[in-house]
Each structure stands twice: as structure tokens, then as C-alpha cells.
A and B are shown apart, each in its own frame.
Chain A
């Protein structure tokens, strides 16, 4: 039966589309899939790097670039005019004013009695913003792509910034010129408002389960970074800092263009050469290398944290798994498919339908990315009347079953079928194909991996999936988060008291309020990993450091 299932997959597995690959002289990679008969094209720009390669002082840079550089396409942002009164000059003036305001606010925190420059600076900034806005058209539909019937979206990820654009085929040359102009100028005219919006979002969302889990499971690693902990860095970031970083991060050798649609290589390549090929190649040598990222310590052991957030309790369990190029990675993807995969997955069948312990279960792999060791995460919401402990116990029973009991042929066939259908969707939808090729290049180092993984799948049996599950889905790779509902009754008095003492201690040592808040939130995050007894002892030690009147 299993042999038949494997043969069935072999017979119908599609070959990846006919991808034509070229490399421009400056290092830009091009993957083109010609789809005759389409009178439009889809373009994905894949900038390798992403959040994982941001230095701590520039945390949030990828998100800001996705929103400022690729939020819209206005002709004013593509103008090259320099000198006094130019948009660039106004934006540099804005940068100076924003920095002066920030410094003034810091000074005010240190010396509330001092003379505040804020109101005057704020008024100048307001006038300046009016001047900047006056340079932009006040007519509707001024986005250059929207006016040509196109659309653009950009998403910041842990491993890459992906920009997806769709336009009619006759706008191809226009698209080449526009994108090169965008990358050359890096105008970032909406930097300040986009940064304010991002900071407001981060402040409003409060503690997030996945971010807490990632922070505990991948400590000290950029994959474990929570942007909400880096608000002071975000606040201090200047437009020129972001431009400088973008020049390095968006070097031509870190860019792959994936084009799918009514284009052919013979006509597209000369246009691409004359446009993207003119982007400066950047420095050669050490600075052109990818940044070195810290290793995740192997011996972290089984970690547990508890936190309160949201209105419903939730269980999150994450296992550290190898990156996409690793030989066990594909087997773990299949394991996730067997466990998750919608209402027919094992966890939904057992925990939701049969035992009624969970309202919902979700399985994700490569959280937050797949280029480096990431996480396989299971999120489950307990049903009313069942505890997180009960749910956790049942979940681990299912993991043990996957590791030890033979996988039924029906389950195996379903997992293979799902992969087959996913591949057909990729073939069918240009955007999905471009994304799959781009991510394979970013995560596995080669777009061909998208095809080669299918070849490997043919030689993979249920035993390999069980072996990978035994190796990786074990307690030494595991981190468990109990997220309790944030109600008045559930609020942890120990944590509230610890937060109070930490704040009081920080106030005696750190003047910058933002830095102080960051220190307190980081301290609380680390303390959550300790047992209750250890947390109580730590609180006593911290209290002892406070002046008697503040205890």
C-alpha cells in the first residue's frame, strides 16, 4: 500500500516550470518563467537578508523598508533633483529636527525643570511637513503602478524582504526603470510617519505568544528577537541610517528577480541589463560577505515559560529544528503535515474531535525562517473546562505516537497528496511560483531546491519521518509556553511585584526612560523561564537592593 502511494506520487509529481536563469554582470540574479498567452507579468524582488541580519541598533529596518520604500510608487520619490529646496534636502532637514526633538525629550526626562525646546521644534517640524506634502501631487490615483492597472505588496520576513509586483506586459520597460530609480535614490520620503505607525502598532499589540516562544527558544539569536523589545532603537533610527543600511543590504548580489508571465528572455534580458545591470555592484571583499550570525547553543535543554496575554489561554510548544538544507528538514515538514494539515490532521482528529481537549490546533514549520535553525511550533487553544497541563500531556502523547507507532498508510498518503496539490498550485499561480523559487534561493541557497526536494521526497519513507521526529521532536529541543488569559483574576501577582521592583531599581541606574522600559521587559522575560520558587528568591534579592523606603 505504501509502495503504491509513493508510486502514485511519482507518476503525478509535476516538474518545476521551465525556469531560465541568468546573472547580470553586477551580480543580480534573474529567474524567468515564460508563460505564453499571458498579457501581464508577475515580478518578485527577493532581497536576501531580512530581519535576521539586522544589527540590533537597526532592528526593524526590514519592516520599515517594506513600508517606506515599497509602500507606494510616487513620481516625486523618483525625482533626482538635488540641492536646496529639493525633496531630499527637505527630508534631511526633517531628520535633523526629529533628532533634535528626540534629544530634547531625553533632556526633559533628565531635567524636567530645564527649558523645553519641544514646542518650537514641533512647530518647525509641522511647517516642514507641510512643505514636503506640498511637493507631492494632491490628485487621487497618483501611485504609478495603480495608475497603470498594477499592484505591489512587500513583506518583511526573517530571511528576506519580498516585493511582489504585477503589471500589464507592456509596462515591463517602465517597471525596470522605476525599480532601478527607486533603488538608486532610496528616497524614503514617508520614513517618519511609517516609523511612528510601526511603533504605535508594536505598542498596541502587547505581548504576543509566538514572539515570547521564539525569544525563549532561540535566546541571543536574531531569530528570537522581538521587535517590540527594540522600540528605543527604532525611535533613535534616522532616515540616513536606514538609507545606509539599505545600500548594503540591497546590494545587487543579494537581489534575485523572479519574473513569471508574458515575457521572453530574448526581449527582457537587454532591458534588464540596461536597467538593473547598472546598479553599482558595491564593495568587493569582506564587506560583501553575508554577516556572521550567532549559533544557537545546542544544550539549551527543555525550557518552559508562563505568561499572561490575550483573553483566551493558549499552549505553544516549539522544537528547534535544522534549517532547510539539512537532510532531516523535509522529513520534519512531512511530520508537520501529518500532525497538522487542517481538520484531517492527527492533532485535530485526536485533540479537537475525539478528546475535545482543544478548540483549535495549528502546526507551523520554519518559524520564523528556514535559512537558519528555526522552530516547529504547535499552537493549541484548550476547550473550556480543560487545563493547559491536560492539553500539553495529550499533545506529547501524539508526538510519542508519531515517533513510535507505524504511520497508517492513509495518513501517509494524505500528507503526500497535500504536497502534490501544493506543487500544482505553485505551477498554476504565477505569484506562488515566484515566491517558491525566491524562498528556495534564500533558504536553501539554490532555487533548484524547490524541485530537488520533490525528488528527495520520492525516496523518503515513513521510517525517515519517524527517525527525524525522534531526533528533533524531543525534550532537549523543546520550549513550552503556557499563555494564560490576561484577566483580573489571572494576573500574576509575583510578576506584577517583580515588575514594580525592577522598575524602581532601573530608575536608580538608567536615566533614559525608553531604555529603562526595555531593561524591565527583558528582565521579566528572562525571569519567566525560572520556577516559581526561583522567581520568589530572585524577587527577594532584588528587593534587598532597593532603598528601604522603596521596598
Chain B
């Protein structure tokens, strides 16, 4: 009886998985599309991903400013205000996101509004003719974002330790230096259909999806000659391994932060295992460690009368103890089992299905076979690389009396 029930459960699972098997296709302009056909869903979800080219655009403030201008420019089929009204009129949620690994837009709409929703997404992406007045207004808005960040000492410190260049707060000089031509170069190099991936999930069949994507993105053309790369200025954030940054904060208990950027060549399987193993490791207690995008962020708060520098030293010591201790075979087995079991949770989150399909299309999906093949030696080797003191950026937050302001502020 029990075996029968298990078999029935497996059949049901297999059936539901089979229903949403990814169906890839490509437009003549090079746009890669992955369809997750799921007729049970009342909503359609889409994500468009465009990789960034750090060599041509690694200038703090350029990418966020470019994204803002794109979102507020009137130079598309609709004026910016009308565009917002159309989105709201159909209850369409369209949100941009920016990280060093790419620029993306996520879209959620009622199934019956899928044509309009994709049309609006295309309008936003193809809105690459610049309106100079929008550039000036958004330059100011970007600077206000920086000012707001600086209002919170904690956010300011975290920002100073940020390794992702797309998330580093731009300086006033940096923003003022972005020209109309820089933006045009950015758009010319980034907004290209032959580099883009679109994932669609919801109540639409393959032929319907092909027709819809062709109608909305078919006119998106590849530039014959992409603009030359921009010269990247040196990074503004603290260099790894340098002395801890100190940020004054009146009335706050001393807080130490340490941030380690993920090694560029870390495999998705290793990232999945370390994401499970690192947060909550008892060696770190009472420090907290979490993953924020590609960064490992460790924080240690002490008593109000405690010393900020002692907190910083203590945090770094804990991280190095963890690095030297490493993980055991049993830890690795537990992490592999947890990862396998956790895959079931994907079915509870329609958005995660889109994430996974996008990761698969970008070659960043976790392969169960490769994950299973990871040995404890490889795991500990990658842990040591990630927590290498040379990769760590550290900083402390403490009462003004005991802190010197950071250089350049």
C-alpha cells in the first residue's frame, strides 16, 4: 500500500514536471526564448536578461543611470506617463533589476493581458533613443539615491564595501561625468537581441508564444557595428585586504562588517552547497553571515560600550577559523541531501521556475550530477578561496568619538 502511494506520488510529480518542460526557440535576430508552458497558471511571468560587459561599462553610476533613463524617457511608442498608466490599467507588474552579471526585467501579468504585457516590455527595452532632459532629471535622482544611502551609516558602510560595480553608489563627479554618448554606447553594447534571453511562463502554447515574441521583439535589430567599449575608471570601493573602513554612527553599538565577493569561477553547484553550509555555522557565533547577490556578508555587533576595532578583529578571526577548519564529509553529505530535498520547494514558487529556467539558459543551473561529484577537498578548496583574507573588505561602524571618517568622504 505504501509502495503504491509512493508510486502514485512519483507519477503525479513526473506529470507536473513534464507539463512545464522548458521549450527553447530563437528569433531570427538572435533572441533566445525559453517557454515554460503551464496552463494551470492564472498569471503569466516573463524575464528578459541582458548580460553586461564590465569592460565597457564598469563605471559606478552609469548602469543605474542608464536604466533610470530608459524607464523615464518619452522616446518610445508611448510617453513615460502613458506607459505607467497602461501598466497600472492592466495591473501589470514590470520591475527592472541590475547586477554585475546582467540587467533584467521581470514581468507578471494576467494571462489575458499577456500580449499587452510583452508589448510594453519590448517598448521599454527598445526605448533607446535618448531624451537629454530625462538624462538631467535622472542624474539628479541618482544623486539623491546616493544621498539617501549616506543618511544611514549602516547602509553607507555596506555600500563602501560593495564589490558589485553596478551596486556601488556613484559619486557626484562620477555622475556628472556621464555623457549622452556614454549612455548611447552603453545601450549599443548591452541592449542587443543576440545576447538576450527571454523566459516565459504561463498559460500559452509554443506556437502562440512564437507568434507573440516575434510580433513584439521581432523588430529588435543587432547593431552592425557595436560602439567601442568605454574606458573603465579604477574601482571606487575599498580594495580587498586594505585597512578596515570606519564610518561614524552616533548612538549605535559598534558593528563590524566583512564582505567577500564570490570568486568569478565558482561553479553554481559549489555556490549552492556553500549557501547552505555557511550561514549559521556555529564557528561564527555570535556573528551572522548571509549571501547578498554575489557577496558573502558577515556582521558582528557588540555591546554599546564595546570597541569597534575589537569587533572587527574578532569577526575576521572567526572567518579565518571557519576557513581553516573547513567542512567534513558528513557536512558535505548533509548539504547535498538538503539541496536535493529542497528542489521540491520550487513547485511552491512560480517565480523560482522562471529563475531556474533562466539559470539553465545562461549555463548557470545547478547540475545534480556535478553537485554529487563534488568532494570535500574541492569544497574546502573553494571555501578557502572565497574567504581568502585578500578577498575580504572590512569595515566598522561606531560612535563618532572613536572613528575617523573614511578617506574621500
Q: Is A509 part of the binding interface, using a Cβ–Cβ cutoff of 8 Å?
A: no
Are A149 and B16 touching (Cβ within 8 A)? no
Number of B residues whose C-beta is below 8 Å from A? 62
State A548–B257 Cα separation when bound (angstroms): 49
State A511–B43 Cα separation when bound (angstroms): 62
Which residues does chain B contribute within 8 Å of A344, judged by CB atoms?
A: 84-85, 87-89
Are A203 and B251 touching (Cβ within 8 A)? yes
Are A343 and B84 touching (Cβ within 8 A)? yes
Are A37 and B331 touching (Cβ within 8 A)? no
Are A37 and B253 touching (Cβ within 8 A)? no
State A344–B9 Cα separation when bound (angstroms): 46
Q: Is A341 part of the binding interface, using a Cβ–Cβ cutoff of 8 Å?
A: yes
State A165–B321 Cα separation when bound (angstroms): 32
Q: Which residues B73-120 have CB closer than 8 A to chain A?
A: 81, 84-85, 87-91, 93, 108-110, 112
Which residues does chain A contribute within 8 Å of B109, judged by CB atoms?
A: 421
Number of A residues whose C-beta is below 8 Å from B? 64
State A429–B9 Cα separation when bound (angstroms): 21
Which residues does chain A contribute within 8 Å of B276, judged by CB atoms?
A: 141, 146
Q: Is A197 part of the binding interface, using a Cβ–Cβ cutoff of 8 Å?
A: yes
Are A200 and B278 touching (Cβ within 8 A)? no
Are B91 and A420 touching (Cβ within 8 A)? yes
Q: Is B37 part of the binding interface, using a Cβ–Cβ cutoff of 8 Å?
A: no
State A39–B9 Cα separation when bound (angstroms): 8
Comparing A52-60, A246-254, A411-419, the segment that makes contact with chain B is A411-419
State A237–B286 Cα separation when bound (angstroms): 22
Q: Is B12 part of the binding interface, using a Cβ–Cβ cutoff of 8 Å?
A: yes
Q: Is A359 part of the binding interface, using a Cβ–Cβ cutoff of 8 Å?
A: yes
Q: Which of A12, A200, A421 is within 8 Å of B304, CB to CB? A: A200
Q: Is B21 part of the binding interface, using a Cβ–Cβ cutoff of 8 Å?
A: no
Which residues does chain B contribute within 8 Å of A345, judged by CB atoms?
A: 88
CB nearest to A267 among chain B residues = B5
Q: Which residues A421-446 have CB closer than 8 A to chain B?
A: 421, 424-425, 427-431
Are B345 and A166 touching (Cβ within 8 A)? yes
Q: Which of B13, B89, B148, B249 is within 8 Å of A413, CB to CB? A: B89
Are B16 and A38 touching (Cβ within 8 A)? yes
Are B343 and A149 touching (Cβ within 8 A)? yes
Q: Is A84 part of the binding interface, using a Cβ–Cβ cutoff of 8 Å?
A: no
Known: A200-B304, A421-B91. A141 touches B334 (CB 8 A): yes
Are B277 and A141 touching (Cβ within 8 A)? yes
Q: Which of A261, A310, A353 is within 8 Å of B151, CB to CB? A: A310
State A353–B109 Cα separation when bound (angstroms): 25
State A142–B330 Cα separation when bound (angstroms): 11
Known: A36-B12, A417-B90. A149 touches B342 (CB 8 A): yes
Which residues does chain A contribute within 8 Å of B367, judged by CB atoms?
A: none
Give the secondary structure class of B's interface. helix
Are A14 and B151 touching (Cβ within 8 A)? no
State A349–B240 Cα separation when bound (angstroms): 45
Q: Is A136 part of the binding interface, using a Cβ–Cβ cutoff of 8 Å?
A: yes
Which residues does chain A contribute within 8 Å of B334, judged by CB atoms?
A: 139-141, 147
Minimum CB–CB distance for A248 against chain B, Å? 31
Q: Is A325 part of the binding interface, using a Cβ–Cβ cutoff of 8 Å?
A: no
Comparing B50-58, B347-355, B401-409, the segment that makes contact with chain A is B347-355
Q: Is A40 part of the binding interface, using a Cβ–Cβ cutoff of 8 Å?
A: yes
Are B349 and A429 touching (Cβ within 8 A)? yes
State A37–B277 Cα separation when bound (angstroms): 30
Known: A169-B344, A311-B147, A420-B110. A14 touches B91 (CB 8 A): no
Q: Is A138 part of the binding interface, using a Cβ–Cβ cutoff of 8 Å?
A: yes
Are B345 and A40 touching (Cβ within 8 A)? yes
Q: Is A241 part of the binding interface, using a Cβ–Cβ cutoff of 8 Å?
A: no
Are A424 and B110 touching (Cβ within 8 A)? yes
Known: A72-B280, A149-B341. A312 touches B350 (CB 8 A): no
State A296–B293 Cα separation when bound (angstroms): 45
CB nearest to A196 among chain B residues = B303
Q: Is B337 part of the binding interface, using a Cβ–Cβ cutoff of 8 Å?
A: yes
Minimum CB–CB distance for B399 against chain A, Å? 11
Q: Is A396 part of the binding interface, using a Cβ–Cβ cutoff of 8 Å?
A: no
Q: Is B281 part of the binding interface, using a Cβ–Cβ cutoff of 8 Å?
A: yes
Are B285 and A151 touching (Cβ within 8 A)? no
Which residues does chain A contribute within 8 Å of B147, judged by CB atoms?
A: 311-312
Which residues does chain A contribute within 8 Å of B304, judged by CB atoms?
A: 200, 203
CB nearest to B108 among chain A residues = A425
Are B337 and A427 touching (Cβ within 8 A)? no
Interface centre among A141, A147, A206, A428 (most CB of B within 10 A): A141
CB nearest to B342 among chain A residues = A149
State A147–B337 Cα separation when bound (angstroms): 7
State A417–B109 Cα separation when bound (angstroms): 11
Are A139 and B285 touching (Cβ within 8 A)? no
Which residues does chain B contribute within 8 Å of A12, judged by CB atoms?
A: 110, 112
Q: Is B335 part of the binding interface, using a Cβ–Cβ cutoff of 8 Å?
A: yes
| Chain A to chain B contacts (Cβ below 8 Å), 30 pairs | A12-B112, A37-B13, A39-B13, A39-B16, A39-B344, A40-B348, A136-B282, A139-B331, A140-B282, A141-B276, A141-B338, A142-B282, A143-B280, A146-B338, A147-B334, A147-B337, A150-B345, A151-B345, A166-B345, A203-B253, A261-B348, A262-B347, A342-B88, A344-B89, A353-B81, A417-B89, A417-B91, A420-B91, A425-B108, A431-B348
Task: A39-B9, A139-B334, A424-B110 are known; give 18 further A-B pairs, CB within 8 A.
Answer: A40-B344, A72-B280, A133-B282, A133-B285, A136-B282, A141-B277, A141-B331, A141-B334, A143-B280, A149-B338, A150-B345, A204-B253, A341-B88, A413-B89, A420-B91, A424-B43, A429-B349, A431-B349
Residues of A participating in the B interface, judged by any CB pair closer than 8 Å: 12, 14, 36-42, 72, 133, 136-143, 146-151, 166-169, 171, 193, 196-197, 200, 203-204, 206, 261-262, 310-312, 341-345, 349, 353, 359, 410, 413-414, 417-418, 420-421, 424-425, 427-431
